[in-house]
Amino acid sequence: MDTMEASKQIEQMRTFILAEAVDKAADITKKGEEEFSIEVHKVITDQKEKVRQAYERKTKQVETSYAIAKSMAINKQRLEKIKARQEVMNKVGDDAKGQLVKEMQKADSGKKFITGLIVQGLLMLLEKEVVVRCRKSDVAMVAGCLKDASDQYAKIIKDQSGASKACALTIDSSTFLPPAPVPGQHGQSCLGGVLLHCFNGKITIDNTLDVRLNLVMEQAKPAIRALLFPQKA
């Protein structure tokens, strides 16, 4: 083989090797670009997902905060409404107490009312001896009601059952009901009325105005509320 032919073969080999290298480099570049594109797409997708999740969290936080604020506002409004209504109901009760006090200060109506309370208590007890407890300031008035109350009790028993049944009434001189309420002062108080007891206080009937008023107010609450706070159609 002469020098020219050897040079030609060498050139052919060089050209072949170079072409192979160029193809290999092109393959590597293409693969690198594909891997880069895949990685970039993955990064973008991951970032989008993170942004989406963050947005959803923020949205839920805002919605939760709004729901809590709305619930608190509604609850506050409801409590204020309940408080305002209760204040009105308390005012009705206070007005009723004032009217009762005025009525009890009238000699005729006060005595008649106390007598009725005693008779009612006697009909519940049906005992031969009953002690009547009242406020210290009402002792004289209540004492003046005992005979009439005893007579009315006996008459009612006679009319309804035909039996003759009397009851000996005495004033409790050792223990008295609390005094009348005084504006601006706290502590136990009593609007008036009586408490009947027998067998050394083992059986009692509380017929004080306070208990009767509370009972009436409790029973009349639905009607009073319907009158004061009518439901909107």
Same domain for 167 and 147: yes
Q: How many residues does the chain have?
A: 233
- Within-domain flag for 180: yes
Structural domain including 13 reads 1-105
Helices (H), the chain: 3-104, 107-125, 139-143, 146-161, 209-228
In a domain? residue 22: yes
Q: What is the pTM of this model?
A: 0.64
Q: At what angle do helices 107-125 and 3-104 cross, to 10 degrees?
A: 110
Q: Is residue 127 part of a domain?
A: yes
Whether residue 233 is contained in a domain is answered as no
- Co-location of 163 and 66 in the same domain: no
Q: What burial class does residue 211 get, using C-beta atoms within 10 Å of its C-beta: 0-12 exposed, 13-18 middle, 19+ buried?
A: middle
Whether 121 and 89 share a structural domain: no
Domain end marker among 105, 140, 169: 105
Domain check: are 73 and 112 in the same one?
A: no
CA distance 189 to 67: 47
Which parts of the chain register pLDDT below 50? none
Q: What's the confidence (pLDDT) of residue 233?
A: 58
Residues with Cβ within 8 Å of residue 209, at least 6 apart in sequence: 100, 104, 190, 191, 192, 193
The answer to whether residues 74 and 85 belong to one domain is: yes
- Please count the structural domains in the chain: 2
Q: What is the DSSP letter of 128?
A: S
For the stretch 160-202, pLDDT in tens is 999 999 999 999 999 999 998 887 778 899 999 999 999 999 9
Q: Which of 105, 120, 140 is the last residue of a domain?
A: 105
pLDDT for the residue numbered 26? 80
- Could you give phi then psi for residue 92, rounded to 5 degrees? -60, -45
Mark whether 20 and 42 lie in a shared domain: yes
Domain boundary among 105, 140, 174: 105
Residues 131, 210, single domain; the answer is yes
Same-domain check for residues 44 and 119: no
The answer on 224 and 111 residing in a single domain is: yes
Task: Supply the DSSP symbol for 186.
Answer: -
Residues 36 and 47 in one domain: yes
Instruction: Tell me the CA distances in angstroms from 20 to 34, 214, 216, one per residue in order.
Output: 21, 108, 109
CATH number at 193 reads 3.30.2320.30
In a domain, 171, yes or no: yes
Mark whether 39 and 82 lie in a shared domain.
yes
111 and 101 share one domain? no
Burial class of 37 by CB neighbour count within 10 A (0 to 12, 13 to 18, 19+): exposed
Which pLDDT does position 107 carry in this prediction? 66
d(CA 47, CA 54) in angstroms, rounded, equals 10
> Does 6 reside within a domain?
yes
Query: How far from 165 is each of 127, 143, 147, 203, 204, CA to CA, in Å?
Result: 9, 21, 14, 19, 20
